[in-house]
Amino acid sequence: MKKRQLALSLGAIVGGTFLYHASAEASASTVQVKAGDTLWSLSTKYHTTVEALKSVNKLSSNTIHIGQTLSIPSASTSQPSNKEEQPSAPSTGSTYKVQSGDTLWKVATRFNMSVEELKRLNALSSNIIYINQTLKVNGSNSASTPTTSKPAETPSKDANGTYKVQRGDSLSKIASTFHMSVSELKQINGLTSNTIYVNQQLKVSKSSETTTPTTKPSTSTPSTSNGTLNVSQMISEAKRYIGVPYKWGGTTPSGFDCSGFIYYVTKQQISTTRYTTAGYWSVSTPVSNPQPGDGDLVFFNTYSSGPTHMGIYLGNRQFIHAGSSTGVTIASLDNSYWSKRYLGAKRFSK
C-alpha cells in the first residue's frame, strides 16, 4: 500500500513538473506588442526573421498594433543570432548576401554607400530586400575594416579652406563637421542640389566666399511656400534618408520616428524646436487650399484621437514619412490605410 502511495506521489510530482514546463514554454512563445515595436525589432530581439513572424502569425503585411499578441517562432525556424551579429563579408569584395534583419540602409552604411547608389547598382525599384539575396556593393565592409582605413572619420580642410569629398560623405555630414549649415555650405559652393561626388573639392570656410559664383542661389529657390523653408531643398533632403529604419524617439539618420524625421530635415535649413506630432499640428498654419502644397506637413490619426502621425507632402498625392513598419519611405494619400486616417495639411516655418 505504501509503495502504491509513493508511486502515485512521484507521478503527481512528475506530472506537475511537466505541466509547469509546458506552461512556461507556452508563455515564452508569445509577446504583446508595445509602443515602438515593429516586426523587424521583434525579429532581432527574439533571434528570428520578419518572414517567420509573419508566417507564424498569418500576417499579410508588416503592420502590427499596440496590445496585439504575437507568437514567436521556435528556434528551429529562426536564423541563428550570431549570423546577424557578424555578417559575412563578400568573398569578391563586390557582392554581399543579405542576412536576417538587414535593410538597404544598413547594407549601404556597412559598405559606405548611399541607399540611392545601392539601389541604382542593383536596379532596385523599391526598398524591399530578402534573406540570401545577393547584392552588388562598392567599398569595403565597415564591419571588418580597421578604423585606420577610414580617413573620412577625421576630415580636415586644406590651406585654401577646401575639403575633398570622401566616399560616404553627405552635405549634412560635411556641414556638421565644419560647423556650418547645409544652406551655408551650398551657398558658398554655388550648389543647387544636395548631390556631391567623391573627390569633389568643396569650400568649407567662410573666408573663401571671395569667389562666390555669379549665379545667385536665389535662382534655385523659387519655391518657398513654407515661409523660411526652401521646399525643393527640404524635399531633396528628406529623400536622402529613404530606407533609414524606424526608431521610437529617433532624430538622427541612425533611426527616425515620424516627428523626429521632420525635425531633422527642417533643422538643416532653420533653427527649430523638436516638436511631437501634436506639437507640429499646434504650431503650424492651416492650409487654405483643399489640396496640400509641396513641402506641406500632412497629418494622420493612427492609434488615438488627434494627430499621431505625420509626413512631408511631395506632390501628386505622394508623401514621405518615417513609418513604424517601413522606416523612411514614400506613400500615397490615396492608399486605403492613409486615406481613412488623413486629418489634413498644415504649413510649418518655425
How far lies 62's CA from each of 54, 74, 122, 227, in Å? Answer: 8, 20, 24, 36
Q: What is the distance, to the nearest Å, from the Cα of residue 349 to the centroid of all Cα atoms in its chain?
A: 24
The phi, psi pair for 251, rounded to 5°, reads -130, 15
Asked if 295 and 225 count as a contact pair (C-beta separation under 8 A), the reply is yes
Sequence-ordered strand ranges (E) for 118-210: 134-136, 162-164, 201-203
Q: What is the largest CA-CA distance in the chain?
A: 108
Terminal CA-CA length for the chain: 87
- Calculate helix-pair angle for 231-239, 258-266, nearest 10 degrees: 130
Residues forming beta bridges with residue 164, ordered by sequence position: 201
258 carries an active-site annotation = yes
Is residue 21 among the annotated active site residues? no
Active site residue 321: yes
CA distances from 93 to 100, 140, 339 (A): 20, 7, 45
Contact 64, 350 (CB under 8 A): no
Q: How far apart, in whole angstroms, are the C-alpha atoms of residue 60 and residue 76? A: 22
Q: Among 47, 65, 179, 321, which one carries the catalytic annotation?
A: 321
Grid coordinates belonging to 304: 488615438
Cross-strand partners of 201 = 164
List the beta strands (DSSP E) in the chain.
30-32, 69-71, 95-97, 134-136, 162-164, 201-203, 251-252, 255-256, 285-286, 297-300, 309-315, 318-323, 327-332, 342-347
Residue 283 near residue 209 (C-beta atoms within 8 A) = no
Q: Which residues are known catalytic residues?
A: 258, 309, 321
